[in-house]
Amino acid sequence: MTDFGYTTWILIIPFVTFLILSLFGMKLKGLPAGLTGTVALGLVTFLSYFTAITYFTGGGISGGSFQKIVAANAVWLNLSDHLHIDMGVLLDPISVMMLVVISTVSFMVHIYSLGYMKGEKGFERYYAFLSLFTFSMMGLVVATNIFQMYIFWELVGVSSYLLIGFYYDRPSAVAASKKAFIVTRFADMGFLVGILLLSFTTKTFDFVTLTDINGPAIASKGGAVFLGMSLMTWSMIFIFMGGAGKSAMFPLHIWLPDAMEGPTPVSALIHAATMVVAGVFLVARMFPVYYFAAPEALQIIAWVGAVSSLFAAIIALTQTDIKRVLAYSTISQIGYMIFSLGVSGYGGHDGLGFMASNWHLFNHAMFKALLFLGAGSVIHAVHSNDMKDMGGLRRYMPVTNITFLIACLTIAGVPPLSGFFSKDEILTAALHHNKILFAIEYAVAGLTAFYMFRLYFSVFHGVDRHYHHTPHESPATMTVPLVILAAGSVFAGFLPFSSLVTSDGVPFESHIEWGVAIPSVAIGLLGIGLAWVMYRKETTLPDRMTSLFRHSYKWAYNKFYIDEVYIFITKKVIFRHISHPVAWFDRHIVDGTMNGIAYVTQSVSSMIKGLQSGQLQKYGYVFISGVIALVIAFIYLVK
């Protein structure tokens, strides 16, 4: 086995960069700060690729399968002899793959931001936050135990909060950052409860022990039964709640579309490619536990993923804000990945869903980052987020146009682009598992193709709008990352993923299932064709369709009123019937007792302070009365 001790630098470098940029960023001023961050991230990217190549070409193989390697470990918090929280680096196929994904996208975003964020107020702050985020995300994926993961999980939440609220002078951005933080925090509460239950049943935090299929955790079969499910199942459901919050799964998805208030490269990095797939990563990391000890939880995961992907795809059809369409598309695609894990088996070809999910995660990171960065390029050119303000941009922005088209084709699953391969594997896994779920995901594939090309055609084709100035292609710092990511989305499909990332670490052969592939490509092309007819030229067709499906359109346009439901539940139910009485009790009973004591003391003292008048004559009067009383008492009473 190779020594992977150097992988700790993958964590140290971004953290040190964060410290430098946040402490001395003001002195570096602008471009030098950005370059510092970018160069540091270049180093991290190099290290990550080096790790990946070493790991996959032999460094991680032992006995024909990929091993979990603990490259570094240190006891961080010693709770008792048996229970301690460690900090370390754990390398296995999924974490190594995530290192590549995160470093690639983060590096591209760093370069891209040099152009996109040029001249913005707080440029160095932005790069400091990006470094913090990269550090946290890297720490999350290489965590050796679930508690370390939880710590970094919260850290990515914080950096996401900071970056969404980057434009802190805009009330909408501030509201969005708070919303994201509160919703994910709420979900993380479930995660924490899950961790506590899990460590209670298994007596360990360690991933290697937890996911060992012959280990004590899985063998224990989950401890006591509560409401028809074992404690283990409950803990895994709670852990998934944390994952669903971070990955914006229905019904905890409401924060993600609002998170688009942040700068667009941030949306590409955090809210499309890396942080939001943390939930997928979490389920993948705990997969053996889910499969062997909590199959009911896995069933829930499959349904949540499927429902989210369908639901988000329908909303994406109606949105007109370019970034929101992409946000819903992200929810939909992450739904795919989560769903794919839910229908997966364990070991060999049964673990197809697991492999497909990670593959899709990898491809999605490339093409969705590309879509967001392309959208950023468009926004940079026309200074608007609204698709109604865009049209005919292909003449002005050739590079953006081509790369965006590639990304759209990839997400629509057109062969031989990467999306085709992973989506085919997902659908194959679904077909073997459950026909209803397969039907849902099949429909979503068509919807995806349609809404993406609706977006593409109405932005890059159609008629010109009134622009403030003629749109121009973005600078090279922005277009080069686009081209690199486009190359990634084209070629990622040819990676031999099934011999790299598998559920049990043993490589297997996977083939394209033509019986699934041909219909799924067909429905994708159908979606593209429909979009071509409806949106390529300005026609009245979309409006006619809208009025035809008036009611359902209105529902979808308003995101199925989920936000309103939340507001209703919080404001009308929780605030009114729980918080208000509690607040009343606090204000009147708890505070009232304290205030009452203070009031009594005060009034008594103001009553008796008159005695302390400072008037000698009153004192004399009292004194002499006392003397007389005593004299009388001694003379007549004491004999």
Partner 1 sequence: MIMNSGIPLEFYLVLATVMFFTGIYGFLTRRNLITMLMSVELILNSVNINFMAFNRFLFPGKLEGHFFSLFVIAVAAAEAAVAIAIIINIYRRFTTINVEDVNQMKY
Which residues are at the interface with partner 1 (CB under 8 A)?
A: 609, 612-617, 620-621, 624
Least Å distance between CB 635 and partner 1?
15
Say how far residue 412 (Cα) sits from the centre of its chain.
Answer: 23
CB of 566 to partner 1, least distance (A): 57
547 or 605: whose CB is closer to partner 1?
A: 605
| Closer to partner 1 by Cβ: residue 214 or 606 | 606
Q: Please answer whether residues 352 and 428 qualify as being in contact, where contact means their C-beta atoms are separated by less than 8 angstroms.
A: yes
In whole angstroms, the minimum distance from the beta carbon of 589 to partner 1 comes to 34
Chain position carrying tokens 């080069």? 480
Q: How many other CB atoms are found less than 10 A from the CB of residue 443?
A: 15
Strand positions, DSSP E, 160-257: 225-226, 229-230
Q: How far is the CB of 614 from partner 1 (least distance, A)?
A: 4
In the bound state with partner 1, the residue whose beta carbon lies nearer, of 540 and 617, is 617
Of residues 258, 388, 262, the one with CA closest to residue 331: 258
Query: Measured from the CB atom, is 63 or 610 closer to partner 1?
Result: 610
- CA 450/CA 318 separation, integer angstroms: 11
Closest distance between partner 1 and the C-beta of residue 177, in Å? 53
CB of 632 to partner 1, least distance (A): 15
**How many beta carbons lie within 10 A of that of residue 607, not counting itself?**
9
SS3 sequence of 499-553: HCCCCCCCCCCCCCCHHHHHHHHHHHHHHHHHHHHHHCCCCCHHHHHHHHCHHHH
Nearer to partner 1, 74 or 616 (CB): 616
* Cβ nearer to partner 1, comparing 80 with 606: 606
Smallest separation (angstroms) from partner 1 to the CB of 626: 13
Is 591 exposed, middle or buried (CB count within 10 Å of its CB: 0-12, 13-18, 19+)? Answer: exposed
Nearer to partner 1, 416 or 626 (CB): 626
- Residue whose CB is less far from partner 1, 26 or 624: 624
Minimum Å gap between C-beta 639 and partner 1 is 24
Q: How far apart are CA 124 and CA 48, in angstroms?
A: 24
Is the Cβ–Cβ distance between 394 and 464 less than 8 Å? no
DSSP annotation string for 64-99: TEEPPEEEEEEEEEE-SSS-EEEEEEEE-HHHHHHH
Rounded-to-integer distance, Cα 320 and Cα 376, Å: 15
| Min dist. Cβ of residue 618 to partner 1 (A) | 9
Distance CA 282, CA 238 (A): 12
Nearer to partner 1, 219 or 622 (CB): 622
Residue placing its CB nearer to partner 1 in the complex, 515 or 614: 614
**SS3 per-residue string spanning 233-272:** HHHHHHHHHHHHHHCCCCCCCCHHHHHHHCCHHHHHHHHH
Residue 410: Cβ within 10 Å count: 29
CA 404 to chain centre: 23
Structure tokens at 319: 């949105």
Q: How far is the CB of 612 from partner 1 (least distance, A)?
A: 7
| CB nearer to partner 1: pick between 469 and 609 | 609
- Name the token pair of 72: 């570094």
Name the minimum Å distance from CB 609 to partner 1.
6
Q: How far is the CB of 595 from partner 1 (least distance, A)?
A: 24
Nearer to partner 1, 182 or 624 (CB): 624
444 neighbors 436 (Cβ within 8 angstroms): no
Task: Note the Cα 214 to chain centre separation in Å.
Answer: 32
Nearer to partner 1, 119 or 610 (CB): 610
Q: Which is nearer to partner 1, 227 or 635 (CB)?
A: 635
Nearest to 502 by CA among 63, 227, 94: 94
Q: Min. distance of Cβ 616 from partner 1 in angstroms?
A: 7
Q: How far is the CB of 636 from partner 1 (least distance, A)?
A: 18
Q: How far is the CB of 621 from partner 1 (least distance, A)?
A: 5
- Report helix, strand or coil for 337: helix
HSE (CB half, 13 Å, CA atoms) of 386? 5
Q: Which residues contact 16 (CB under 8 A, 6 or more apart)?
A: 40
How far is the C-alpha of 34 from the C-alpha of 116, rounded, in Å?
A: 12
CB of 617 to partner 1, least distance (A): 5
CA distance 112 to 120: 14
- Structural contact between residues 139 and 505, judged by C-beta atoms closer than 8 angstroms: no
Contact 114, 38 (CB under 8 A): yes
Of 27 and 609, the one with the shorter C-beta distance to partner 1 is 609
8 A C-beta contact, residue 500 and residue 93 = yes
Question: Between 570 and 613, whose beta carbon lies closer to partner 1?
Answer: 613
